[in-house]
Structure 1
Amino acid sequence: MNDPIDGVSAWLDALAAPVPSPGGGAAAAVTVATAAAVTAMVAGYAPDGPDRDATRAGADEVRAHALAAARRDAAASARLVAAYRERRADLAAALHEATDASLAVAESAAPLAPLLTWLAAHGDPRLASDIAAAAHLAAGAVRAATATAAGNLASWPDAPASLHDRLDAALADAVALDGLGR
């Protein structure tokens, strides 16, 4: 059996390469997926029953969604960098796509909050530190993804207000997730 860290090492090598993609948004999405995996692990120790099963399934769904968001963000970031480098006329469209992708990463963490809340109340109390770790990982990922989105918005004066609204909502989610980690 391969050491699971080898796969993480390969991902980190790709992230460390001086190329446009993957970047910070994809890293944030992988962090959401990591928080979801920790959530699923903690749920595996909760008492048997439909709530535990639903919590595990919800965490698995968040993980899958976050990994898809990582791929989408990486592709959108690469297109944005190309649009900047080539001074293309579709820069606004590329900014919109990249900002939307970063916000989707941030939003992908929100479903973890009720799962972690349930685990805090019904899970194995010996795993409270893992619940806190998952909450803080998710909150950090949201902040990282919103930083990427905010950077895009700062260079785009005509950005739709709806993107700013989504940014604000995601930041509120980060605060709520951090609160679960106490």
Structure 2
Amino acid sequence: MTTQGSTVEEWTRALAESTGSPGGGAGTGLMLAVAASLTSMVAGYSDSEEDDGGEPARIRVRAQALRQEALRLADDDASASKAFGAAFRLEPGPERDEAIRQASLEAAASSAVLGERAIGAIDDLAWLAANGNRSLVADVVVAFGALRAAVAGARTNVSFDLGSLRSAGTSLGQVRRQHPALWAAVEKLNKAMDRIDALTADIDHRAAPTDAS
């Protein structure tokens, strides 16, 4: 079952099963694809004859490419999740420890790539929030919500996968020293969530003017 080759009904049915593949990581990729799709849609409605070939058109091209990449990354994460689960099912011993170490690092790296792509999508959505078709502000807010879910999912998965190295006898201090880029990715993704929250707050009054809060 792949994200790229399944219907929404088929894929979500597979996600609902207690298999772990697809799981939360693949769901993170799907949320990024949703954010990219909405970004493309809003960019298309924000183009005009005067802006033909301008920033909205460039945003749409990037968003359409990201949608396809996000689905591929979702499938990559599902494969990594499968290997991760298999490693923990091995009998205790050196072979299991090495399998956990390898699977944890591969899963963390896969989620970090997904998170990096999600961070890269923030600027285009921020541009549309400020300059896009104002009639589609609700769609922009929904896109921000999907993008935040992707960033949060990537952050949590990278952190969890790195923490799983403890099952192979590695302390968190050792993980931080041995894998500084993956460790730093967690904080980078935390900051990205804060930025998305701020951007959403800036336009939420336009998207939901009847909200009592």
Q: TM-score, normalised by structure 1?
A: 0.90
- Give 2:82's aligned residue: 78
Following superposition, the deviation at residue 22 of structure 1 comes to 0.6
CA contact (8 A) 2:119 2:192 kept: yes
Structure 1: gaps (5+ residues): 1-5
SS of the residue aligned with 1:110?
helix
Following superposition, the deviation at residue 90 of structure 1 comes to 2.5
Q: Residues 108-123 of structure 1 correspond to what in structure 2 (within 5 A)?
A: 108-123=117-132
Following superposition, the deviation at residue 121 of structure 1 comes to 2.4
SS of the residue aligned with 1:19?
coil
Of structures 1 and 2, the larger Rg is shown by 2
User: Root-mean-square deviation (CA), in Å?
Assistant: 1.5
Distance 1:115 1:72 in 2: 25
Distance 2:187 2:130 in 1: 28
Q: Residues 129-168 of structure 1 correspond to what in structure 2 (within 5 A)?
A: 129-156=138-165, 157=171, 158-159=174-175, 160-168=179-187
Q: What CA deviation, in whole Å up to 9, does each residue of 1:49-96 have, x standing for no partner?
A: 221110101111221221111011110110111111114232211110
- Give 1:128's aligned residue: 137
Q: Kindly, what percent of the aligned residue pairs are identical?
A: 32
- Give 2:196's aligned residue: 177
* Structure 1 position 97 matched with structure 2 position 116: no
Distance 1:142 1:120 in 2: 18
Distance 2:159 2:80 in 1: 15
* Structure 1 position 11 matched with structure 2 position 15: no
Distance 1:72 1:94 in 2: 13
Q: Which runs of 4+ in 1 moved over 6 A?
A: none
CA contact (8 A) 1:146 1:167 kept: yes
Distance 1:22 1:13 in 2: 10
Distance 1:27 1:129 in 2: 22
